[in-house]
Structure 1
Amino acid sequence: MDWRELLNSIITNSTERDRIAAEIGVHPVTLTRWASGESSPRPHNLRQLLRALPKGPRSQLLTLLEKVSPDVVDFEIDTTSHEIPYKFIIEVLEARASIPDLLRFWSITRLVLQQALRQLDPERVGMAITVVRCMPARYGKIRSLRETVGLGTAPWGGDLEEKALLLGAESLAGHVTVSCRLEHIGDLRTNKTFLPAYQVEHEVSAVACPIMYACRVAGCLLISSTQPDYFAPEARLALVRGYANLLALAFNPEDFYDPDVFALHIMPPSHIQQAHFTGFRQRVLKLMQDSVRQERRLASNEAEQLVWQDIEEVLLNVPHQEYK
């Protein structure tokens, strides 16, 4: 028996075939094609297949795969990654209890994103993960969201904060924040979901989950992958929800808003936005220096927020005909 014959015998049971396909994030027909030899799984698909199998069949399949692909020996099959580690949850709670107010948001968000990136992209196939938070309300309404802390594996850079944008009604993050409901898109190249989405370079699939507290929302956790249907498995979506819930600990209660205060605008595309970020740090520094002279000293995060609000006001007034 070769590995394809073993796979065929496993998926003869239609219930088991559908379960494995859902766990991997592929169509059940794809498993049938792998078993028949019509197509071959990519290395990361093989890892996912091995993780999805019970211990006995997994060992058998691994032995058969080693005969045709020596690289399989180096596969790290982590079958315990469907839950956030308990020790890490305690670490976040301890950080929440001990970190000063001014450092809490940045410290906890980076802590959570680092762990989420390790767990959600263990094979480093390519992922970007970003915390998107609401811009302060003006005239009683929230008009845009802002990408803040972000981390990524190749082909994205390690720290994504310098590439942050303002997002609005045209984005998946905007839709999820307003609806207070997790959504994912399996393939942004075709996007048959009718969900709004702004596709960035290298991005193929995406998921966004609202960050909530007491039925109010502060923004969302936005994750992109280079792989199609990467967030299809329910176990992976459960992890995304879990990390979004942990991120709520980074925010203050007043950072959460009732859904009825949102009136998101359509924000300009990135190439227009980037032109307005030139000299951002210099503008922040100048605000801080001016505040010292005026004896109303601003912290760096307060000065940054004021500069972001100025940029938001300018971008909201860019004529739509210039978006092309």
Structure 2
Amino acid sequence: MDWREFLGSIISNASERDRIATEIGVHSVTLSRWVSGESSPRPHNMRQLLRSIPKQQRNQLQSLLEKYSSDVSDFEIDTSEQEIPYKFIMEVLDARASIPDLLRFWSITRLVLQQALRQLDPEGVGLAITVVRCMPPRDGKIRSLRESVGLGTPPWGGDLEEKALLLGAESLAGHVTVSCRLEHIGDLRANKTFLPAYQVEHEVSAVACPIMHACRVAGCLLLSSTQIDYFAPEARLSLVRGYTNLVALAFNPDEFYDPEKIALHIMPPQKRQQTFFDGFRQRVLKLMQDSSRSEKRLASPEAEQLEWQQIESSLLDFPPENRTG
């Protein structure tokens, strides 16, 4: 018996086939194609397949897979990877307690995103994670969201902060921030209702989870993957929720807003926004230099926020006919 035959005997039970497919994050028909030989799993799919198989069958399937691919012999099937390590949680709490206010947001979000990227994309198949935060209210309402700290693995660049944009009601992040509910899209090619943050040629699935505190919202954690249904497994969604709760520790209490204050506008697309961000860093430095001659000197985060607010004003005044395409 080879591995395809053995897998076929396991998934002959329809409910078990559906369970395994959901755990892996593929369609059940994909499992049938692996069994028939029409297609073959990639290395990260093999690892997920082994994790999803009951323990009493896992060793035999791994032995059969090793005959098919030498990579399998290096797999360490550790189901504890489905949980955020306790040691890391304590590291975040220590940072929350000890880091000065001015550095807390950047330090904690970078710390959490680095760990989340390692755990959610151990095979490097392609993942982007971004913290999206509410812009300060205008006339008592939140009109847009700001992408801030972001990290990714290829095809995304490592640091996504330089590509940050303002998002609105047209975006997946906007929809989730308004509804205060996690939302994931298994195939962006089939569902184009809401757009994620960084659209690249190989982007296929996305998930966003609201950043909450005491029934108030500060934005969301936004993730995009190159794989179809990558966020379908409940264990992976649980990790997304957990990392989102850790990111919430980076925010001040006054950065969380009552949901009724969220009234997002539709923001122009990336190519139309880009001209407003040209020279962003130079304008921030000028604000800081100018403030040095006044009584209140601006720190870098404060100057950046003022510049973001100026860009938001320009984009909100953008003619409606130029908000698409």
- Calculate the TM-score normalised by the size of structure 1: 0.96
CA distance in 2, matches of 1:39, 1:227: 16
Q: Take 1:136 and 1:225, find their aligned partners in 2: how far apart are those partners?
A: 29
Paired with 2:81 and 2:72, the residues of 1 have a C-alpha distance of: 19
Amino acid at match of 1:58: R
1:105-138 CA deviation, whole Å, 9 max, x = no partner? 0010001000100000000100000000000001
Distance (Å, rounded) in 2 between the aligned partners of 1:304 and 1:189: 35
**Counterpart in 1 of 2:4?**
4
Aligned to 1:240: 240
Find the aligned partners of 1:41 and 1:99 in 2 and give their Cα distance. Answer: 44
> Which digits, 9 at most, give the CA deviation of each residue in 1:82-105, with x for residues without a partner?
111111111111111111111110
> Per the alignment, in what secondary structure is the counterpart of residue 81 of structure 2?
coil
Task: Provide the identity percentage.
Answer: 78
- Alpha-carbon distance, 1:313 to partner: 0.5
Query: Once structures 1 and 2 are overlaid, which stretch shifts more, 176-185 or 296-305?
Result: 296-305
User: Offset at 1:9?
Assistant: 1.2
CA distance in 2, matches of 1:31, 1:227: 16
2:225 matched residue in structure 1: 225
> Quick one: which amino acid aligns to residue 260 of structure 2?
D
Q: Equivalent residues in 2 for 1:29-178 (5 A)?
A: 29-178=29-178
Shift of 1:39: 2.7
Q: Which moved more, 1:38-47 or 1:239-248?
A: 38-47
The residue identity in structure 1 corresponding to 2:199 is: V
Structure 2 letter corresponding to 1:270: Q
Question: 8 Å contact 2:178–2:262 — kept in the other structure?
Answer: yes
AA in 1 matched with 2:174: G
- Aligned to 1:56, the other structure's residue is in SS state helix
Instruction: Return closer, same or farther for 1:2/1:86 CA change in 2, 3 Å cut-off.
Output: same
Residue of structure 1 equivalent to 2:189: 189
Aligned partners of 2:76 and 2:193: how far apart in 1?
A: 35
Deviation at 1:27, TM superposition (A): 2.0
One-letter amino acid matched to 2:69:
S
Return the alpha-carbon distance in structure 1 between the equivalents of residues 69 and 244 of structure 2.
38
Asked if 1 retains the 8 angstrom alpha-carbon contact of 2:26 and 2:228, the reply is no
Q: Distance between the aligned counterparts of 1:190 and 1:15, measured in 2?
A: 26
Deviation at 1:318, TM superposition (A): 1.4
2: distance between equivalents of 1:106 and 1:3?
Answer: 47
- Partners of 2:95 and 2:232 in 1: CA distance: 32
Name the SS of the counterpart of 1:268 in structure 2: coil
Q: Which residue of 1 aligns with 2:269?
A: 269
Using the alignment, how far apart are the partners of 1:195 and 1:183 within structure 2? 12
For 1:317, the equivalent position in structure 2 comes to 317
Task: Give the CA deviation at 1:195.
Answer: 4.0
Query: RMSD of the TM alignment (CA)?
Result: 1.3
- Structure 2 CA distance, aligned partners of 1:195 and 1:266? 13
Distance 2:78 2:271 in 1: 40
- Structure 1: how far apart are the matches of 2:262 and 2:130? 21
Q: Is the 8 A contact 2:128 2:225 kept in 1?
A: yes
The superposition leaves residues 172-193 of structure 1 with CA deviations (integer Å, 9 ceiling, x where unpaired) of 00000010000000111111xx
Per-residue CA deviation, residues 63-85 of structure 1 (Å, 9 max, x unaligned), is 11122222322334332211111
Number of the residue aligned with 1:297: 297
Give SS of 1:276's match.
helix
**Does the CA contact (< 8 Å) of 2:43 and 2:71 recur in 1?**
no
Counterpart AA for 1:29: V
Rounded to whole Å, the distance in 2 between the matches of 1:31 and 1:125 is 19
Counterpart amino acid of residue 4 in structure 2: R
- Unpaired runs of 5+ residues, structure 2, are none
How far apart, CA to CA, are the structure 1 residues paired with 2:203 and 2:35?
29
Residue type of the partner of 2:216? R
Amino acid at match of 1:100: P
1:200 maps to a residue whose letter is Q
Equivalences, count: 322
- 1:170-217 Cα shifts (integer Å, max 9, x gaps): 0000000010000000111111xx742246113211000000000000
Instruction: Report the AA paired with residue 196 of structure 1.
Output: F
